[in-house]
């Protein structure tokens, strides 16, 4: 028992070291292809998205922030198909998944940790899996051009070959019970059928000549075969005979789900969803959301005839509550490559990509997409208060808002690509960009004047420390400096042949710059520099050389000692931090060891203080050190047990604090109810590390009376009473 406990403790420590992102970083948003939705219980739901997953504890009504998996789960099956049976849960704890090779992975704690088991099926590619119970399961796939099916009776630890003589590799398997089952491939419309657990089998024609994509059975008698393209087959006698229904509108299909004998849905290429209300005889289109065949909903699931979800390749989680008549995106996260992020205060911020502008009012935990923003690709945004903000971008585009980003006034102030802007007060601002472009305004962006310099290279970043002193990071080893508000610029060359990507000064004297030199197949070099005499002299660390584009992208300091810099390596993002003015740097975010399957590259970083830092980058990635609104971390020392303390003060008017502890990483909710049991507000709704926390509740908008607060965290639930007295 001691050895088992010690092993579990080591696993927890390893998981925290590798995946919890030191420095208290939270992943707020990212784009991942969503592969599979799994109802572990009526209320506990998991969505797997490769190296991340989303969880819900209220039946899919709300979802936690993305949580890092210990293993990559899910794989793409191509533009016209998917592997629909690669993951299987038999209850809230036990689940298995194939990885498109000879191994399978298994979890016994609802997907928190996964272990790998080799099937010893040499040269096989296993793509689908089904378990009847915790011990008995089947896997299927291919060895070369032949199909293979294997069986386990001890939960996946050991596997025995059932058959390797199927005509083609198996791409879908369905067992009605421990003995009777079916298997299909992409080769033709013939299915293999067994009545003795694949000790023997026979072939049966079940289509119209084209291949079969998926097998789905509602019960022991009723089942459907998803044909590709343009047809579906149905049986009502456990596969003894099949009726083929042609459906030309379906095209290349992906997945299907039936909720009863009459009602079902099919997903198809170009993010189309079709529905039938007569068992598959006729189909009508409910949704067409994509433009290309690669855009698909890889999984679709309905828990009743009205409530369902569809998982997209672009991090879309669609939900319907009226049987598919209307669909809405549950996540609605920022997408695309986020070129700029900026916060006016600890709660209110914006980010921008070529897909538009998003705004948050709760520190980045939820975002609202403003679809009325000009479609021109924007590279940088800045707000001088919660109402007034600016953006600049491609083709000399410039936009201004005076109502917090709701409406924007667009203009063109040049022809070059505008890269960065910096407003130093309510009226005076500067912009830099391609071909040596420097622009200045003294009337809040209404008019701009061109400032001359002797460079025609790309100017990548600009910062003014006051109305007179400013600096610009540029290509070809150049840094520009002005001491008279941009009337004249002096070119500094602290280090030759490097492109300076970002610059940041904490005052007129002390500043930092990062630079890169990338030569494609020749790899990359990068450099950090510091000045303490306004750029007259610069000191730098040793040049770091890497294979590939391992580049510095941004740098930001909140004072002379504390700062962060972002870097990217083949679409993987890293953040390093210094607390001694750049003498030493240590990694606070990013993968340890292999970078495979990690976050998107990070382009920019912004900080209000050490507890409120945000970084954004590729594929809609936003990470932050900011605590959720209303929750603070008191201690990350691991508590001995779950705890929900009495709120204090109590009675209260109008604010109170609620302290609680979680002894292990768990998805935690803290909900306030009124006396009638109606939900008033949710204070916590996310995955928390082991530790002690404190949540605030402001009851100023509620009437006096008795309220209850309830914590739900894995296997722990407790409710306490509090009194609001005005």
- Dump pLDDT digits (tens) for 56-89: 888 888 888 888 888 888 876 554 455 668 899 9
pLDDT computed for residue 522 by the predictor: 65
Least confident of 17-26, 165-174, 575-584: 17-26
pLDDT score for 508 = 94
pLDDT given for residue 554 in this prediction: 96
Compare 291 and 615 and report the one with higher pLDDT.
615
Task: State the pLDDT at residue 302.
Answer: 97
- Please tell me which of 345-354, 598-607, 682-691 the model is most confident about, judged by mean pLDDT: 345-354
19-33, 179-193, 377-391, 472-486: segment of lowest average pLDDT: 19-33
Please compute the mean of the pLDDT values over residues 265-294 and round it to a whole number.
93
Query: Over the Cα atoms of the chain, what is R_g?
Result: 29
CA distance 56 to 64: 6
Of all residues in the chain, what percent carry a pLDDT higher than 90?
61
User: Which pLDDT score, from 0 to 100, does residue 16 have?
Assistant: 34
Q: Over 90: is that where the pLDDT of 623 sits?
A: yes
Neighbours of 163 (CB within 10 A): 20
Here the tokens at position 248 are 């030309």
pLDDT average, residue stretch 573-590: 93
Q: Out of 269, 299, 329, pick the residue that ends a domain.
A: 329
Here the CATH number for the domain that contains residue 674 is 2.60.40.1930
pLDDT in tens, 97-118: 998 889 999 999 999 899 999 9
Residue 410 lies in a domain: no
For the ranges 3-7, 230-234, 524-528, 668-672, which has the lowest average pLDDT?
3-7
Please tell me which residue, 454 or 439, carries the higher pLDDT value.
Answer: 439
In a domain, 335, yes or no: no
Cβ-proximal residues to 76 (8 Å cutoff; 6+ apart), any chain: 33, 82, 298, 313
User: DSSP assignment, residue 652?
Assistant: B
Q: For residue 226, give the CATH number of its domain.
A: 2.130.10.10
Judge whether 676 lies within some domain: yes
Q: Which residues pair with 644 in a beta bridge?
A: 660
Question: Is residue 11 included in any domain, yes or no?
Answer: no
Q: How far apart are CA 339 and CA 607, in angstroms?
A: 16
Closest C-alpha among 224, 254, 253 to residue 238: 224
> What is this structure's pTM?
0.83
20 pLDDT above the threshold of 50 = no
Q: Is 3 helix (H, G, I), strand (E, B) or coil?
A: helix
The count of other CB atoms within 10 Å of the CB of residue 485 is 18
329, 358, 382 — which closes off a domain? 329
Looking up tokens 């203080």 gives: 609
Looking at residues 255-271, what average pLDDT do you find? 95
pLDDT of residue 488: 95
pLDDT at 13 over 70: no
Tokens of 661: 């502890």
The answer to whether residue 223 is domain-embedded is yes
In a domain, 655, yes or no: yes
Q: How confident is the model at residue 23 (pLDDT cuts 50, 70, 90)?
A: low
In a domain, 500, yes or no: no
Q: Residue 514: inside a domain, yes or no?
A: no
pLDDT of residue 26: 87
DSSP string covering 524-582, please? EEEEEEEESSTTSS-EE-PPEEESS--EEEEEEESSSS-EEEEEEETTEEEEEEESSTT
- How many domains in the chain? 2
According to the 3-state scheme, what is the secondary structure of 246-302? Answer: ECHHHCCEEEEEECCCCCEEEEECCCEEEEECCCCCCCEEEEECCCCCCCCEEEEEE
Domain limits for position 89:
78-329
| pLDDT tens readout for residues 558-579 | 999 999 999 987 678 899 999 9
Residue 551 pLDDT exceeds 80: yes
- Per-residue confidence (pLDDT) for residue 77, from 0 to 100: 55
Among 275, 296, 329, the domain boundary falls at 329
């Amino acid at each position: 028992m001691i050895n088992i406990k010690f092993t579990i403790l080591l696993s927890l420590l390893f998981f925290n070291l590798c995946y919890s992102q030191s420095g208290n970083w939270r992943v707020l948003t990212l784009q991942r292809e969503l592969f599979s939705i799994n109802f572990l219980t009526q209320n506990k739901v998991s969505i797997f998205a490769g190296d991340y997953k989303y969880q819900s504890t209220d039946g899919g009504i709300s979802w936690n922030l993305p949580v890092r998996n210990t293993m990559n789960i899910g794989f793409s099956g191509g533009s016209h198909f998917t592997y629909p049976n690669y993951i299987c849960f038999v209850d809230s704890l036990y689940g298995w998944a194939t990885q498109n090779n000879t191994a399978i992975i298994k979890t016994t704690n609802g997907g928190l940790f996964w272990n790998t088991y080799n099937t010893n099926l040499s040269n096989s590619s296993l793509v689908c899996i089904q378990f009847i119970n915790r011990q008995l399961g089947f896997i299927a796939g291919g060895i070369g051009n032949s199909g293979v099916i294997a069986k386990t009776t001890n939960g996946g630890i050991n596997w025995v070959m059932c058959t390797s003589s199927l005509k083609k590799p198996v791409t879908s398997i369905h067992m009605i019970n421990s003995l009777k089952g079916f298997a299909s491939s992409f080769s033709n419309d013939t299915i293999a059928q067994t009545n003795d657990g694949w000790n023997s089998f026979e072939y049966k024609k079940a289509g119209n000549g084209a291949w079969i994509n998926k097998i789905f059975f509602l019960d022991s008698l009723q089942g459907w075969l998803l044909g590709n393209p343009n047809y579906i087959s149905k049986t009502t006698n456990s596969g003894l005979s099949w009726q083929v229904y042609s459906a030309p509108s379906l095209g290349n299909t992906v997945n299907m789900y039936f909720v009863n004998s009459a009602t079902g849905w099919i997903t198809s290429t170009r993010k189309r969803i079709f529905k039938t209300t007569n068992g598959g005889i006729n189909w009508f289109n409910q949704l067409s959301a994509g433009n290309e065949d690669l855009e698909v909903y890889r999984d679709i699931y309905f828990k009743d005839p009205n409530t369902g979800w569809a998982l997209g390749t672009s991090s879309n989680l669609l939900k319907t509550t009226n049987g598919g008549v209307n669909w809405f995106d549950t996540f609605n996260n920022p997408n695309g490559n986020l070129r700029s992020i900026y916060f006016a205060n600890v709660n209110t911020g914006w980010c921008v990509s070529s897909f538009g502008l998003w705004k948050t009012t709760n520190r980045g935990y939820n975002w609202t997409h403003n679809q009325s923003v000009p479609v021109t690709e924007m590279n940088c945004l800045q707000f001088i208060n919660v109402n007034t903000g600016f953006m600049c971008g491609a083709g000399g585009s410039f936009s201004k808002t005076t109502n917090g980003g709701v409406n924007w006034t667009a203009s063109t102030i040049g022809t070059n690509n505008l890269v960065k802007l910096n407003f130093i007060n309510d009226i005076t601002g500067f912009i830099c960009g391609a071909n040596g472009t420097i622009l200045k305004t003294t009337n809040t962006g209404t008019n701009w004047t061109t400032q001359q310099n002797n460079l025609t290279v790309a100017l990548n970043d600009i910062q003014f420390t006051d109305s007179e002193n400013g600096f610009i990071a540029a290509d070809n080893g150049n840094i520009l400096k002005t001491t008279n508000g941009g009337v004249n610029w002096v070119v500094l060359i602290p280090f030759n042949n490097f492109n300076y990507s970002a610059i940041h000064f904490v005052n007129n004297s002390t500043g930092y710059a990062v630079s890169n030199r990338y030569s494609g197949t020749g790899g990359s070099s990068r450099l950090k520099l510091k000045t303490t005499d306004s750029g007259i002299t610069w000191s730098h660390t040793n040049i770091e050389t890497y294979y590939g584009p391992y580049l510095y992208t941004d740098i930001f300091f909140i004072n002379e000692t504390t700062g962060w810099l972002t870097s990217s390596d083949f679409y993987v993002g890293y953040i390093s931090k210094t607390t001694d003015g750049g003498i030493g740097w240590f990694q606070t975010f990013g993968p340890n060891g292999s970078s495979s399957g990690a976050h998107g590259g990070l382009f920019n970083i912004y900080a209000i203080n050490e507890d409120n830092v945000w970084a954004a980058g590729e594929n809609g990635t936003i990470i932050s050190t900011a605590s959720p609104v209303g929750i603070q971390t008191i201690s990350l020392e691991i508590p001995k047990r779950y705890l929900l303390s009495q709120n204090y003060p109590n009675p209260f008017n109008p604010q109170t604090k609620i302290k609680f502890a979680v002894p292990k990483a768990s998805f935690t909710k803290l909900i306030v109810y009124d006396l009638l049991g109606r939900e008033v507000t949710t204070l916590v709704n996310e995955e928390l590390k082991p530790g002690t926390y404190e949540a605030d509740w402001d009851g100023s908008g509620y009437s006096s009376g008795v309220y209850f607060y309830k914590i739900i965290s894995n296997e722990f639930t407790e409710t306490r009473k509090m009194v609001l007295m005005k």
